[in-house]
Structure 1
């Protein structure tokens, strides 16, 4: 990739997109308002602007050739209160208003959760860049699956502006990520035909054995990735919240997910964690249960395919939040490589 390619990453978090981009030679500057996430980014040497995406625009990053974004997922998440899901029709209407270059500032104030309207920010950026005569060469967006109708609407809008664009759901384990995470992606490009990346690994199916068929590699188990845990399936989606709004200490998706972990352990499809774990990394045990399964921030980061030792900053709670909110680095790398017509030549991440 030419050295001149530079991207701006909206809602950049601790660097999930950016680690993937850096592996491909793309320079990224991320905008993030969470201080702990910004500290993580700085410690990792990632370009960082600490602030609100709404206070910036393409004119502030005149050298940026590409746009990346992962708006906050909480309003749209199945595990959240669902305000964003209820407001999807309004979001789609506002997207059309933006496409016709109408001001939507007043309408945005009508959302119960201000984060709902943030999903429209990447479209604002894209249209402002087009109107300035410096359109982004590629636009890559990610969110929870319930946002796919928004990405499909954005794709139609961007096609009308001259882009090739597509949107769809990707299963993280099909790209070498050791967890069953599903996310909705938008890929738009001015350089050829937009397409989603082709899987490199098999999709996980309950009860199926790892085989590696039809030219695909076997999916990667939780135990393969972090050295302990489930041997016959990937980890469950690394979660960021509970019904109470805080990070799930198991960091693998709530009570149903914990039941799955216990079931796999009790069935013998399990490797016990034998390494010494720093107690400061783990939340307090609940109810006096000393056998409670707890995934540390270190383990959760590896399940998200962050490089070992990625310097997450802040409290344990803030580290869990950053990890759970991030795009898996390896999945991001596949999406970026496909959008830029590049192969991934380095070995896949398979173990800690």
Structure 2
């Protein structure tokens, strides 16, 4: 089946959907370096620039079975101002316009979790669902956690998914995704294919210093709260990482313990956290032990489940940004498989709950 990708970034969604069997024939993104990365690794069908400049070209595309994309999310993110008038928020409507132009069999639109959960965005959610239904799609949205789909990262995102057909029916997307779940490997297992940071196949070292804060914010978990200055949190090697942000490259880059990773020693962060929780005085403002460092570009890419040989273009900060902005390819692959199976086997109506529109929030829990 043929598809197009918009707001493609470095191609996280595209890699996954290609693995699920879709042939992505056309793609677009605004970021120059993301487009260069896409072209180098996926294909030269990427168009670089403002999508509004390509709408006429999009109209001429034929036999498009699926439209996928992740419109800019900064306007909806709790990490930003959540401004409804943020120009970047309007791109979700451009996505609906492209669906109207091409009338595909299905679509998948990704965005930040907040768009799918916060009451602030409930009017927008309802408007989007109504718009897709007006276009003839049986549609709903679902929030998925990447760790349940073979990604070693606690990354939650919302997906609006629609199938051409009876627009009065509401897909139970949570139920539809259940058969496609796959437990993720740990961060330690994921990084085991890499050489030591700064050597061999692991050279994208982040040089941002790590300093301890004299006023830590404590949580039960040593991997939450704030033990260091900056937003970079320590990585749980024998579990999953927190969400990798697009703002990585400086002091927002997650922290890893080399001796815990390479020498299997007990974690310094866990021991330090335990001492403070038991009444010890926090450290003065100073640099953390040398055994602690920031994640490398290559480590972040693997935690996001980009292919091992994927080559990112641009500056190091741009590479970190491309990785953090992406949909994890493994998560995309499992969504793609579900959509493909529904389209090929025509089983969509067996997985749908017929409910009035006002109950769609209940469908999503």
Give the alignment's TM-score, normalised by structure 2.
Answer: 0.65
| Aligned match of 1:38 | 35
SS at match of 1:267: helix
Shift of the 49–267 alpha-carbon distance from structure 1 to 2, 3 Å rule, reads same
In the alignment, does 2:95 pair up with 1:122?
yes
Call closer, same or farther: CA 1:223–1:21 in 2, change over 3 Å.
same
Instruction: Determine the C-alpha separation between the residues in 1 that align with 2:325 and 2:241.
Output: 16
More displaced stretch, 41-50 vs 143-152: 143-152
Which residue pairs with 2:240 in the alignment?
234
Change in Cα spacing, 1:320 to 1:65, as seen in structure 2 (3 Å) is same
* 8 Å contact from structure 2 (residues 142, 158) kept in 1: yes
Q: Matched residue pairs, number?
A: 264
Structure-2 residue corresponding to 1:25: 21
- CA distance, structure 1, for counterparts of residue 164 and residue 143 of structure 2: 22
For residue 200 of structure 2, what is the aligned residue in structure 1? none
Question: Residue 251 of structure 1 aligns with which residue?
Answer: 253
| Structure 1 unaligned regions, length at least 5 | 88-110, 130-134, 202-215, 254-262, 269-285, 344-352
Are the equivalent residues in 2 in contact too, given 1:165–1:188 (CA < 8 A)?
Answer: yes
Residue 309 (1) aligns with residue 309 (2): yes
Partners in 2 of 1:265 and 1:54 — Cα distance?
A: 50
> Is the partner of 2:107 in helix, strand or coil?
strand
Paired residue for 1:180?
154
Which structure is larger by alpha-carbon Rg, 1 or 2? 2
Which of these residues, 265, 270, 273, is aligned with residue 267 of structure 1?
270
Change beyond 3 A, Cα 1:125–1:295 = same
Secondary structure, in 3 states, of the residue corresponding to 1:12? Answer: coil
**Larger strand fraction of residues:** 2
C-alpha contact 1:77 1:144 (8 A) present in aligned 2: yes
Q: Deviations over 1:58-106 (max 9, x none)?
A: 31423422111101112221112332xxx1xxxxxxxxxxxxxxxxxxx
Change (3 A) 1:234 1:128: same
CA distance in structure 1 between the partners assigned to 2:104 and 2:182 by the alignment = 34
Alpha-carbon distance change, 292 to 140 in structure 1, aligned in 2, over 3 angstroms: same
- TM-score between the two structures when normalised by the length of structure 1: 0.67
Shift of 1:153: 3.1
Which has the higher mean CA deviation after the structures are superposed, 28-37 or 187-196? 187-196
How large is the RMSD of aligned CA atoms in angstroms?
2.9
Distance in 2 between residues matched to 1:152 and 1:312, nearest whole Å: 37
Distance verdict in 2 for CA 1:52–1:295, change over 3 Å: same
State the distance in 1 between where 2:4 and 2:128 align: 18
Q: Paired residue for 2:8?
A: 12
Q: Is the 8 A contact 2:110 2:159 kept in 1?
A: yes
Name the residue aligned to 1:78.
Answer: 78
Q: CA deviation at 1:293?
A: 2.7
Query: CA 1:190–1:342 in 2, change beyond 3 Å: closer, same or farther?
Result: closer
Tell me which residue corresponds to 2:107: 139
- Give runs of aligned pairs for residues 158-307 of structure 1, distance below 5 A: 158-190=132-164, 194-196=171-173, 197-199=176-178, 218-227=183-192, 230-241=236-247, 247-252=249-254, 265-267=268-270, 290-307=290-307
Q: 2:51 aligns with which of 25, 50, 53?
A: 53
Unaligned runs of 5+ in 2: 117-121, 195-234, 256-265, 272-285, 344-365
* 1:151–1:186 contact (8 Å) kept in structure 2: no
